[in-house]
Amino acid sequence: MEKFFWTENLTKRFDGLVAVGNVSLSFTPGVITAIIGPNGAGKTTFVNVCTGVLRADGGKVYFRGRDITNLPPDRRVSLGVGRTFQITNIFQGLTVRENVRIPLLSRKRRADLEEETEKLLSLLNLQDVSETLAANISHGDQKLLEMAMCLAVEPEILFLDEPLAGVTPAEKGRIIDVIFSLKERGLAVVLIEHDMDSVFKVADEIAVMHRGELIARGVPEEIKNDQRVIDVYLGGLE
């Protein structure tokens, strides 16, 4: 299969610190790839460089055969590269429905605005809170709202930075259901997550970062039994 989204020797430094060093990774439509690793491993920085929030200091990012390394984030979004943030990025003073409408308003097709809004609210299971201010919905619903806003612009790859952090077990289940549904719709899903039970439940493939480097990549069973991964990360978790 033609490669879809991939990086080659991607590197990002902060002063002397190599936050991401020579990371070559690829992502595939309809596949959930988790990126795991200890705090400070470089996971968020990697996503930031892939999505254009940060400039790469070395290496390349390709999407559908095109070098997007130097494109600004909005151009990458319009090509189909979406992401959520570790700290949720929504408009607290607007209702859930109003939040969902914002990215939809920027599309060329406006006629089906209401229909698309309903579709997204129902896909993300947010109908019951659609008229509530975003500030007043649960943390899990805020995470789902941010995902709805990303999906409004119809990404083909979606980077999710810790979508399960700080949510209740019930909300976790709802978010995981949505992640599965994105995979079924053929999106490439890149999941940054510390919740290993969830990672091993949903991920088709796992990449492990440690001190900026990619130290392992494989199916969950391989990663679970990788001695280096156990030493630097999994072994230290409860």
Ligand X SMILES: Nc1ncnc2c1ncn2[C@@H]1O[C@H](COP(=O)(O)OP(=O)(O)OP(=O)(O)O)[C@@H](O)[C@H]1O
- DSSP letter at 70 equals T
In the bound state with ligand X, the residue whose beta carbon lies nearer, of 11 and 132, is 11
Task: Spell out, one character per residue from 104 to 143, where the chain touches Mg ion: x when CB under 5 A holds, - when not.
Answer: ----------------------------------------
Residue 40 sits in the site that holds ligand X (CB under 6 A)? yes
Residues 28-47 that bind Mg ion (CB under 5 A): 43-44
In the bound state with Mg ion, the residue whose beta carbon lies nearer, of 12 and 43, is 43
Q: Which of the listed partners (ligand X, Mg ion, none) does 12 bind, with a CB threshold of 5 to 8 Å by partner kind?
A: none
Q: Could you please report the per-residue DSSP string of 12-26? A: EEETTEEEEEEE--E
Handedness of CA 136, 93, 51, 212 (dihedral sign): negative
Name residues whose C-beta falls within 8 Å of residue 164's C-beta, 6 or more positions apart in sequence: 143, 172, 175, 176, 193, 195, 198
Name residues whose C-beta falls within 8 Å of residue 82's C-beta, 6 or more positions apart in sequence: 150, 151, 153, 155, 157, 158, 159
Task: Spell out, one character per residue from 86 to 125, where the chain touches ligand X: x when CB under 6 A holds, - when not.
Answer: x---------------------------------------
Q: Could you please report the per-residue DSSP string of 119-140? A: HHHHHTT-GGGTTSBGGGS-HH
Please, what is the minimum distance in Å from the beta carbon of residue 181 to ligand X?
Answer: 25
Residue 155: CB atoms within 10 A of its CB come to 21
Task: Spell out, one character per residue from 6 to 25, where the chain touches ligand X: x when CB under 6 A holds, - when not.
Answer: --------x--x-x------
In the list 21, 33, 43, 171, the residue contacting ligand X (rule: CB under 6 A) is 43
Residue 41 sits in the site that holds ligand X (CB under 6 A)? yes
Residue 7 sits in the site that holds Mg ion (CB under 5 A)? no
Which region holds residue 162: left if phi is over 0, alpha if psi is between -120 and 50, else beta?
left
Q: Which residues bind ligand X (CB under 6 A)?
A: 14, 17, 19, 37, 39-45, 86
Q: Which residues bind Mg ion (CB under 5 A)?
A: 43-44
